[in-house]
Copies of this chain bind each other. A is one copy, B any other.
Amino acid sequence: MSNGMWFPTLGLVAWLCCLSLGPVQGGKVLVMPVDGSHWLSMKILVKELTRRGHEVLVLVPETSLLIHSSESFKTEIYQVPFTKAELDGKFNELRTGVFLKPPAFTDMLINVQRLVNFTSLQVKGCESMLNNEPLMSQLRGGGFDLMLTDPFLPCGPILARVLSIPAVYFLRGLPCELDLKANQCPSPPSYVPVFFSGNTGTMTFPERVKNMIMSFVESYMCKIIYVHFDDLVSRYFGDNMTYKDLVSHGAIWLLRYDFTFEWARPVMPNMVFIGGINCAKKAPLPVDLEEFVNGSGDDGFIVFTMGSMVSNMPEEKAKQFFDAFRQIPQRVVWRYTGITPGDVPENVKLMKWLPQNDLLAHPKAKVFITHGGTHGIYEGICNAVPMLMFPLFGDQGDNVHRMVVRGVAEKLSIYDVTTEKLLVALNKLTYDKSYKEKMVELSQIHLDRPVQPLDLAVFWTEFIMRHKGATHLRVAAHELNWIQYHSLDVICFFVIILLTVLWVTLRCCLFCIRKCSRKGTAKRKSE
């Protein structure tokens, strides 16, 4: 029995073709995206929805990094109370910060601080949009059927509630796992590793202790991270509504992961897994690039990017990479806009932007050097390319950990990377076959699915429009408070009953004893 023999590839291709033949008259979709890499994958769904005949309107802040108008969809530009320079400043802070080693044990705090710093500006932008009465009245009259948004920022969920339309969320996850908490998804700390814990699904006793501690820390962090969001939401909707309460109303959660990346855990019926949505579309490489990588011969080539936000690094650090690349037979395609040494090695091609997925899909791609964002990781998994990973910020540390534990990647710290360390890691990844073998296995499992991620995302988005929500997938737990959810009131009731029964029994016994002893005394007296 040869592997992969029954892949219904033909069928899926035909299905995709037929999707394109489907009726074009559609619904009205309002899109509130999040800038940066978050937008890059959401854009794939937005374009597909437009192609399928839906009227899509994307709300774009006047100063943005990656969200621009397009021929594929309509945009509505709204004013924000910050300039392009201020926004760039915030991003630059983030960019330069990632190369500065934080003091020991402050990693998580610094991550949280960066996050709050970044989102607080975005919250201001959001608030300004919500106060933009002409825009809001235009949206109110827009007759939208659905809000497609990434709840990483609060604007989308707030707008969905203001316009009374169902929301479809498109995300990798929320900081401190607010997505799971808001969606009432159980996460037993005994086997679901908490973010930043460095644990896997299988934990020893000390790891479980650490996991439990981290889950308390996480709950505390949640309060800090979402303080601006909670404030905005409660000001808008009153009743002390928190951001968690608000996002809990999401109809469908389109989650950019699956269980080749994430550890198996309980899920909820309205969670749809679309990991790898970003690596379905492949295009031929530009001629010069194709020539360069093809010229790498049997040694193959390395793809090196640090994500959409980070394209340069301090000169001294870059030197370590240039020196390492000089000593390897592979060619390197590197997205790098920083200062270059006078003698860039011949086997290195520097580019301002590179077609990452197309390069990884090339049969000569040997290693992928990446920061560990989920987009890049899934492109690595889809194309079965082992990875050398440098986690920079946010969820990347945990993402990288998942890949390293699965034996498909090596991890190095960007803070103390040296030419020697690089050479050792690259040699391991290139010549130790186990990395490639495990990656091929992971890739085959990931790619073997009944419906392609983009089709699944389209299906559920349209499902919500067809049925005006998905109440049948919403658990009744949303109507319970913490005490009720954990049945603490019921347990208390049982305890009260038990104590009452004990007390009554005790009183009866005492009464009987007293009665008997009295009778005994009376008898003795009469005797």
Contacts and interface: CB of A to CB of B under 8 A. Distances in A.
A185 B445 CA distance: 23
Contacts of A476: 191, 200-203, 263-264
Given A1-B27, A189-B487, A264-B472, A21 B15 contact: no
A23 interface: yes
A490 interface: yes
23 contacts: A1-B26, A1-B145, A8-B18, A11-B16, A11-B21, A15-B15, A15-B18, A188-B485, A191-B477, A208-B489, A209-B493, A209-B494, A212-B487, A212-B490, A212-B491, A259-B473, A260-B472, A264-B476, A266-B266, A266-B268, A444-B467, A445-B472, A450-B456
B188 A188 contact: no
Interface stretch (A105-113, A129-137, A354-362, A457-465): A457-465
A209 B448 CA distance: 44
A265 interface: yes
A466 B444 CA distance: 10
A267 interface: yes
Contact of A22 (B8, B203, B489): B8
A128 interface: no
Given A189-B487, A209-B494, A445-B467, 8 more contacts: A6-B462, A8-B18, A10-B22, A185-B266, A208-B489, A212-B494, A264-B476, A444-B467
A479 B14 contact: no
A127 interface: no
B23 A205 contact: no
Which 3 residue pairs spanning A and B have beta carbons closest together?
A11-B18, A201-B476, A14-B14
Interface in A52-97: 52
A351 interface: no
Contacts of A462: 6
Contact of A6 (B1, B23, B259, B486): B23
Interface string A219-230: 000000000000
Interface centre among A12, A18, A145, A462 (most CB of B within 10 A): A18
A44 interface: no
A342 interface: no
Interface string A181-216: 000011011110000000011110100110010000
A463 B448 contact: yes
Interface in A248-267: 259-260, 263-267
- Range for the number of chain A residues in contact with chain B: 35 or more
Nearest to A272: B450
A437 interface: no
Contacts of A493: 205, 209
A209 B490 contact: yes
Contacts of A188: 186, 477, 485-487
A17 interface: yes
A491 B212 CA distance: 9
A449 to B, nearest CB: 8
Contacts of A1: 25-27, 145, 465
A287 interface: no
B467 A191 contact: no
Interface in A476-508: 476-477, 479-480, 484-487, 489-491, 493-494
A328 interface: no
A304 to B, nearest CB: 28
Contacts of A490: 189-190, 205, 208-209, 212
A190 B466 contact: no
